[in-house]
Chain A
C-alpha cells in the first residue's frame, strides 16, 4: 500500500504548479498509471481523496488513465503488448525486447480555475 506516498509525491508536483500559476482552485487532475507500475487505481483514488482535503485541489476530480504495457522487439523491431503470461514477441517469439511504456506514473495535466 504505497499509494499514499505516491499521492504525497503527486501533490508535491501539483503544489509546484499551484505556486507558479496561483489559481483559485485546482479542478481536475489527470494521472496516467502504467499497467505495470505496481499501482492499484482504486487505492490511488482512495489515497487521493484522503490527501486532497485542505489543499487547493480539495474539490478536484481525479481522472486515471491506465496505460498498457508496450514493448519493442529487438529482433524484428515491431511493437507489441507483453502480458505477464506472454513476455515474448508475438511476431517472432523473441524474448529480447525493450519496454517503451506501461511502468510509469505520470501527472499528465491539471485543470485550474483562475
Chain B
C-alpha cells in the first residue's frame, strides 16, 4: 500500500514548501548469505581443529543418501569413527536408521525449511562424540536450495540416482557447480533403466570439471571400496594439513 501524500504546507509566496523528508541512497554491497558464510567459516575451523572430515550430502528426496550412509557404516565403522547429522523436514526416521547400524546420529527437523543452514549444524555439533573422524551431514532432500548454504563442510557431495535420469546435471546446475564429488547411485538398477551413467557424468563434468565421480550401489556394494578409499585419503590429507 502506498502512503498517501499529506497536503503540502504553503509558503508565504504561495508555493508549496519543499518537503522536509529527504531521500538518501545507501550503498550496501553485502552478500545476503554473508552471515551464513561467516558461521560456516567458523565451523570449518572447528571441524579442522578437531580433525573431522565433514561431508555435506545433497540430492533430491529418495536418491539414496540414507541408504548410502547405511552401506558406508558397514564398511567404515571398523576403520573410522563416523557420525551423522540428519536433516529432514519432519520425523526422526533417518537418524533411527543410522543408529540401528551402531553409528551415532543426530536429527535436525527443520519444520518446513527446505535446507540446512550453518547455525543449525553449529548447534548440534557439540553433541557429536569428540572422537569422530567422519561427519556426514545429510541435507534435506532437495537438489536446489541446499546448494546455496555453506555448512562448513570440507567436502560437498551431490548424489544422483539412476531413476532420476541422466539429464539432471544441466537442469540443476547449481548443485553440481558447488560440489566436490558426484556419486551416481543405484547402479544396480542400470540394466532396467534408460540411464546412461557416462552421459550423467559428462553433463556434470561440463559444469564442474573438478568433480570426482563415483558410481555406486548401496545394495550390492559396487563402487563402495573406491569411495571409502577416497574418503580415507581426504581424511588423512585434512589431518596432516
Contacts and interface: CB of A to CB of B under 8 A. Distances in A.
Contact of B148 (A6, A13, A27): A6
Contact of A113 (B21, B115, B206): B21
B91 interface: no
A13 B35 CA distance: 9
A76 to B, nearest CB: 16
B35 A9 contact: yes
A13 B27 CA distance: 12
Interface stretch (B68-76, B169-177, B227-235): B169-177
Interface in A2-30: 2, 5-6, 9-10, 12-13, 17, 21, 23-24, 27
A14 B13 CA distance: 40
B25 A111 contact: yes
A113 B28 contact: no
Interface residues of B, number: 38
Among A1, A5, A6, max chain B CB count under 10 A is at A5
A80 interface: no
A51 B207 CA distance: 34
B6 to A, nearest CB: 13
B132 interface: no
Given A36-B174, A87-B206, A103-B177, A109 B26 contact: yes
B17 interface: no
B1 A59 contact: yes
A99 B209 CA distance: 12
User: What interface size band does chain A fall in?
Assistant: 35 or more
Contact of B115 (A2, A12, A105): A2
Contact of B33 (A95, A96, A105): A105
B23 A113 contact: yes
Contacts of B34: 13
Interface in B170-193: 170-171, 173-174, 177-178
A22 B22 CA distance: 13
Interface of B: 1-3, 21-36, 113-115, 117, 144-145, 147-149, 170-171, 173-174, 177-178, 205-207, 209
